[in-house]
Amino acid sequence: MINPVTQPAAAWLLAHGQAYNANLATDANRDGVSLLMAYALNLDPQLNLSGSLPPATLQGDTFGHDLLRRHSRPDLPGGS
């Protein structure tokens, strides 16, 4: 049985054709998006996600990249 407390991404991994204990740092399809990033943004890691990340912004001399506001997961810090 998978414990959602110790393996919070397990159900998501299984639902997306990955092993429940897959290394979230991997990028199996080499699109530049790790499993962890796909999980955090709730994207399908089986797709080519190279163009799916939210764009970076430049305001004055400040660079920003707002990832969790657009695609939040309630089980990650900052998620809703």
- Provide the pLDDT for residue 6: 82
pLDDT digits (tens, 9 = 90+) for 21-68: 999 999 989 999 999 989 988 889 999 988 877 777 788 888 776 655
- Provide the pLDDT for residue 72: 57
Structure pTM? 0.70
Mind giving me the DSSP string for 15-79? HTTS-TT--TT--TT-SS--HHHHHHTT--TTS--TT-SPPPEEETTEEE---TTTS--TTSTT-
